[in-house]
Chain A
Amino acid sequence: MTEPLIYELSRPGRCAATLPDLDVPRAELPEGLVREDLPLPEVSEPDVVRHYTHLSQMNYGVDTGFYPLGSCTMKYNPKINEEMARLPGFVHLHPYQDEETAQGALCLMYHLQEFLKEIGGFAGVSLQPAAGAHGELTGVLMMRAYHLDRGDAGRDVILVPDSAHGTNPATTSMSGLRVVEIPSDERGNVDRGALEAACREHSGHLVGMMLTNPNTLGLFDEHLEEVTGLVYQYGGLMYGDGANMNALLGIARLGDLGFDVLHYNLHKTFSTPHGGGGPGSGPVGASVRLADFLPGPVVAIDRERSSDEGDFYTFVDLPKSIGRVKSFYGHFGILVRAYTYIRMLGAAGLRRVSEYAVLNANYLMSRIKGTYRVPYERICMHEFVCEGRFADAPDVRALDVAKRLIDYGYHPPTNYFPLIVHEALMIEPTETESKETLDGFAEALLHIADEARTAPALLHEAPHRAPVRRLDEVRAAKDLILRWQPKQQ
């Protein structure tokens, strides 16, 4: 099933939009600066609608079915969030309008800051970063700035576990710092011996450690307080990657566990939609000693302009801020969705989210671990990793299992991450899936394990029932075609 490109549907003279006539005198156009042609499509509105409708029908979203991508938290995206984000009083607000005209929006941002502080256990929050990786860059720059502010120059090492998401070391390089990788032990925790050795070796150079907890194996570090204690002992700070916070709402606060700075992923934990690759939102929480370094501006209550009638909200900059990390204030449209979600759940609802996220993951793991090897014999958190390979079907790899799941109507789990597990399949069901869905998925996986032995070709050539068959990625990288171009005459 293919759909022509919008350019292939184009016919000269068509225009889908209607615009008003010019109602003022024409001015002279600037000489030498006007373009001669604009090679954009020419299509009618029905063409546009059919085209994008067909494209949507080739896509699979959470609204279509189960989407167990590990560390992505593909939970249900509530429709009320979409409605609230579209309220005219939010949609039509220009960011530079006088604050007195934006008090509703500012009130929402202020209270979201407060909610996130409470949920994470932090003294300050900035809503400005646009995504998780953006929040990571913010946090690492804040840690760096903290040391420089204390006159402690020469610290340039960040410790990162070998199970870390690629954004962690990439962020470290972007901040002008060096990565030192710390191995995991056989139970999936940070190897404390290796950590201590690294701290000693880089003593005096340590900026801090970036830690995802629960980690990318879905495991809560059994010695977390020892790990953070060691880093503090050598003068370092702790950065928390909040990607896996879906296991911790109302269960534990990373601020209470000694993290100095953390990013939240609103598009994971707080139900805002993934959008086919964004927009997300990555607010950052900071402890007392790092709160002054947050990017901004952030929203505060202006006591002088407040009255008995209500608080007046205003933007302020933090005194030692690392500076702005993006234009304007953050992804406001996404903040509205997260605010709505938190208001619908309350404290009890949030705790239930994490309880059932963890229950679902452990249940699914119990159903398949006999057939798909789970390398760590432990209770998992909201996700788990298993191996997509079979001793008696050596030609079958995780990729084949993943593609065959598509034929069963499921989106595959994350493949080949984390790097420390062979043929990894990282599975995160989330709390919004029912037991029936989990049972169906487990059954499909068990079927596929059988097929791996009896009919492996079915897996190697999968998917059979998707809009396209397996795609040639080598050719895409070699013959780089990154845009449509008209055929040469």
Chain B
Amino acid sequence: MPYVPHSDEDRKTMLAAIGVRSVEELFEDIPAHVRFPELNLPPALSEMEVRWELEMLAGADFTTADGPCFLGAGAYHHFVPAVVDAFLRRGEFYTAYTPYQPEISQGTLQAIFEYQTMICALTGMEASNASHYDGATATAEAVITAINVHRLKRRKVVVSPYVHPEYRAVVRTYTQGMGLTVVGDENSGSAVLTDLLDDETACLIVQYPDFLGRIEDLGPLAEAAHAVGALLVVVADPIALGLLKSPGQFGADVVVGDGQGMGAGLNFGGPYLGFFATRMEYVRKMAGRLVGQTVDTEGQRGFVLTLSTREQHIRREKATSNICTNQGLVALAAAIYMATLGRCGMRRVAELCYHKAHYARQRIGAINGFSVVDEADDGRTPVRYIRPFFKEFVVHCPRPVKEINDYLLHEWEIIGGYDLGRDYPHLQGHMLLCVTEMNPREEIDMLVEALEEVAS
């Protein structure tokens, strides 16, 4: 039996020291009628058998390693340098616990301090926490922060319909017991967002680039939010921030998002990385762990978890959040990614995504039957003017998106884009395509050829 080292001798000696005759005797507090159930589980496998089974399961999947991928929508096929996993496999990092004993956790603590610094650099903010579960829960925590900043006196949240649909859903789940009203995205948001802002509003949430890939000047939004005393929360793509002006520069108060693209890989949806950055004035209302710099008794620089008194293990029911375990190892991956790519590399990755996506859009727009749109309000009239976009863009298809994707998969082994009709009724028949640094020109040209075939 694996992982339990005891011999029969050991067991006997230990039972004698405890003063009981058998292991069963240790469980007498358990009510007899439920004790020692027979669990109906498949029999144990040896290491090589378990490997065969898992390899068979994994082998049944067709993935982004098997064919070109043009699917994004919140999870992205980005380059992960080899150094990242080399360190995720070091036992000193991945088998450590939360650094509550700082003297023997300086590795984790310093790595997270550096991560916090780099997130601030990307987002243009002053303080970052050590992570949330993902971009969606980080967004929900941003709402809770905004509510706390307003000392529970403001109960309204305005959210853009082009914040990721799952993020908006999680905000609603998280806040279902808090008596808040979340508006702005019903009916795919026909109202102008800033018209909804008033002195009841705790925060305005927008995404940058938005779910349809578009980039908007956040300056007017920051002004409108601040004019009513509301916080501006920006959900940002960290890869885009390699190229684009930071939300901090526009006046954002909280920047959240998912760091998945920075070293977490796709992994069928998780574990990913929620990041959360804000201004120093809101630092005590920010949930999650924080690493701070200090000195030891000999004056040497060191790092510790700080402001822990806001957290659940001290504040209990008055805590900023209940979060305990977060995404430590994934934050480490992101830190290594940001250090490896660095100032020049992150800019280059962003430019590769940008130019390749623009090339793809231009070629697809030229295919008869496909049209590239900004947004169709009535589903019939494609809007010709295209707002700036980063790595994703919307395409109106001549046939249902599912049909197109089935064709791409079965005839060309291409993973096609996201069906926007799933979330936006007025975008039935529209596909969200994503192009990253991982798509060489040949793949884009292949996609174009495939779509030309589908259209005819």
Q: So, do A and B actually touch in the complex, CB under 8 Å?
A: yes
Interchain CA distance A101-B66 in the complex, whole Å: 11
Nearest Cβ in chain A — how far from B412, in angstroms?
14
Q: Is B201 close to A, CB under 8 A?
A: no
Nearest Cβ in chain A — how far from B38, in angstroms?
7
Chain A residue numbers with a CB within 8 Å of B298 are 469
The answer on a CB contact under 8 Å between B58 and A277 is: no
Contact A20 to B440, CB < 8 A, known contacts A257-B34, A276-B328: yes
- Name the CB-closest residue of B to A409: B104
Contact among A20, A118, A130 with B271 in the assembled complex (CB-CB below 8 Å) = A130
Chain B residue numbers with a CB within 8 Å of A32 are 217, 245
Q: Is A466 close to B, CB under 8 A?
A: yes
Q: Is B398 close to A, CB under 8 A?
A: no
Interchain CA distance A432-B4 in the complex, whole Å: 5
The answer on a CB contact under 8 Å between B58 and A90 is: yes
- Name the CB-closest residue of B to A350: B39
Interchain CA distance A41-B335 in the complex, whole Å: 11
Nearest Cβ in chain A — how far from B181, in angstroms?
14
Most buried by B among A96, A107, A253, A349: A96
The answer on a CB contact under 8 Å between A349 and B177 is: no
Contact among A93, A277, A281 with B64 in the assembled complex (CB-CB below 8 Å) = A93
The answer on a CB contact under 8 Å between B59 and A89 is: yes
Most buried by B among A49, A92, A433: A92
In the complex, the number of residue pairs spanning A and B with C-beta atoms less than 8 Å apart equals: 684
Q: Is A402 close to B, CB under 8 A?
A: yes
Q: Is A370 close to B, CB under 8 A?
A: no
Chain A residue numbers with a CB within 8 Å of B37 are 121, 250, 252-253, 256
The answer on a CB contact under 8 Å between A170 and B312 is: yes
Chain A residue numbers with a CB within 8 Å of B409 are 98, 101
Nearest Cβ in chain B — how far from A381, in angstroms?
8
Contacts of B9-51 to chain A: CB distance below 8 A: 10-11, 13-15, 17-20, 23, 26-31, 34-47, 50-51
The answer on a CB contact under 8 Å between A278 and B330 is: yes
Nearest Cβ in chain A — how far from B83, in angstroms?
6
- Name the CB-closest residue of B to A137: B322
The answer on a CB contact under 8 Å between B323 and A133 is: yes
Stretch at the interface among B117-125, B190-198, B366-374: B117-125
Q: Is B150 close to A, CB under 8 A?
A: no
Chain B residue numbers with a CB within 8 Å of A197 are none
Chain A residue numbers with a CB within 8 Å of B128 are 482-483
Most buried by B among A51, A132, A378: A51
Interchain CA distance A352-B3 in the complex, whole Å: 10
Q: Is B313 close to A, CB under 8 A?
A: yes
Chain B residue numbers with a CB within 8 Å of A391 are none
Contact A95 to B289, CB < 8 A, known contacts A59-B96, A280-B325: no
Contact A170 to B322, CB < 8 A, known contacts A40-B338, A366-B17: yes
- Total interface residues on B, using CB and 8 Å? 207
The answer on a CB contact under 8 Å between B215 and A33 is: yes
The answer on a CB contact under 8 Å between B347 and A57 is: no
Query: Interface readout for B214-229 with A: 1 if CB under 8 Å, 0 if not?
Result: 0101000000000000
Most buried by B among A86, A94, A108: A94
Interchain CA distance A251-B120 in the complex, whole Å: 48
Q: Is A470 close to B, CB under 8 A?
A: yes
Q: Is B315 close to A, CB under 8 A?
A: yes
Interchain CA distance A91-B86 in the complex, whole Å: 15
The answer on a CB contact under 8 Å between B44 and A343 is: yes
Contacts of A465-484 to chain B: CB distance below 8 A: 466-473, 475-477, 479-484
Chain A residue numbers with a CB within 8 Å of B65 are 88, 91-92
Nearest Cβ in chain B — how far from A426, in angstroms?
12
Q: Is B135 close to A, CB under 8 A?
A: yes
Query: Interface readout for A1-45 with B: 1 if CB under 8 Å, 0 if not?
Result: 011011100100111110110111111011011110111111101
Contact A340 to B54, CB < 8 A, known contacts A63-B95, A476-B304: yes
Contact A17 to B340, CB < 8 A, known contacts A57-B92, A411-B101, A469-B300: yes
Query: Interface readout for A103-116 with B: 1 if CB under 8 Å, 0 if not?
Result: 11101100000010
The answer on a CB contact under 8 Å between A41 and B343 is: yes
Interchain CA distance A87-B54 in the complex, whole Å: 8
Contact among A38, A277, A435, A468 with B98 in the assembled complex (CB-CB below 8 Å) = A277
Q: Is B133 close to A, CB under 8 A?
A: yes
Interchain CA distance A93-B60 in the complex, whole Å: 11
Q: Is A274 close to B, CB under 8 A?
A: yes
Q: Is A55 close to B, CB under 8 A?
A: yes
The answer on a CB contact under 8 Å between B271 and A333 is: yes
Q: Is A204 close to B, CB under 8 A?
A: no
Contact A19 to B18, CB < 8 A, known contacts A118-B41, A348-B44: no
Interchain CA distance A276-B319 in the complex, whole Å: 22
Interchain CA distance A355-B27 in the complex, whole Å: 9
Q: Is B145 close to A, CB under 8 A?
A: no
Chain B residue numbers with a CB within 8 Å of A279 are 133, 270-271, 325-330
Interchain CA distance A303-B347 in the complex, whole Å: 48
Interchain CA distance A7-B114 in the complex, whole Å: 8
Chain A residue numbers with a CB within 8 Å of B28 are 379
Most buried by A among B94, B241, B283, B335: B94
- Name the CB-closest residue of B to A119: B39
- Name the CB-closest residue of B to A345: B44
Q: Is B421 close to A, CB under 8 A?
A: no
Most buried by B among A19, A115, A402, A461: A19
Q: Is A202 close to B, CB under 8 A?
A: no
Nearest Cβ in chain A — how far from B388, in angstroms?
4
The answer on a CB contact under 8 Å between A483 and B117 is: yes
Nearest Cβ in chain A — how far from B413, in angstroms?
10
Chain B residue numbers with a CB within 8 Å of A169 are 312, 316-317, 319
Query: Interface readout for B298-310 with A: 1 if CB under 8 Å, 0 if not?
Result: 1011111011010
Interchain CA distance A67-B268 in the complex, whole Å: 32
The answer on a CB contact under 8 Å between A93 and B63 is: yes
The answer on a CB contact under 8 Å between B96 and A471 is: no
Nearest Cβ in chain A — how far from B132, in angstroms?
9
- Name the CB-closest residue of A to B27: A251
- Name the CB-closest residue of B to A480: B292
- Name the CB-closest residue of A to B13: A435
Contact among A10, A94, A295 with B77 in the assembled complex (CB-CB below 8 Å) = A94
Interchain CA distance A455-B112 in the complex, whole Å: 36
Interchain CA distance A324-B95 in the complex, whole Å: 29
The answer on a CB contact under 8 Å between B294 and A324 is: no
Chain A residue numbers with a CB within 8 Å of B444 are 24
Contacts of B361-394 to chain A: CB distance below 8 A: 362, 388
The answer on a CB contact under 8 Å between B316 and A48 is: no
Interchain CA distance A103-B307 in the complex, whole Å: 45
Nearest Cβ in chain B — how far from A275, in angstroms?
3
Known: A277-B108, A471-B304. 14 other contacts (CB 8 A): A37-B343, A90-B61, A95-B269, A104-B57, A133-B312, A133-B322, A333-B267, A345-B1, A356-B6, A363-B17, A434-B5, A467-B106, A469-B103, A480-B307
Question: Can you pick out 19 interface pairs between chain A and chain B where the beta carbons lie within 8 Å of each other?
Answer: A2-B302, A15-B344, A16-B81, A40-B339, A58-B107, A94-B69, A95-B75, A95-B269, A141-B173, A170-B317, A170-B319, A174-B174, A174-B178, A174-B321, A251-B30, A279-B329, A346-B45, A353-B4, A468-B300
Sorted nearest first, the 6 A-B pairs with minimum C-beta distance are A176-B177, A328-B269, A89-B58, A277-B328, A63-B91, A346-B44
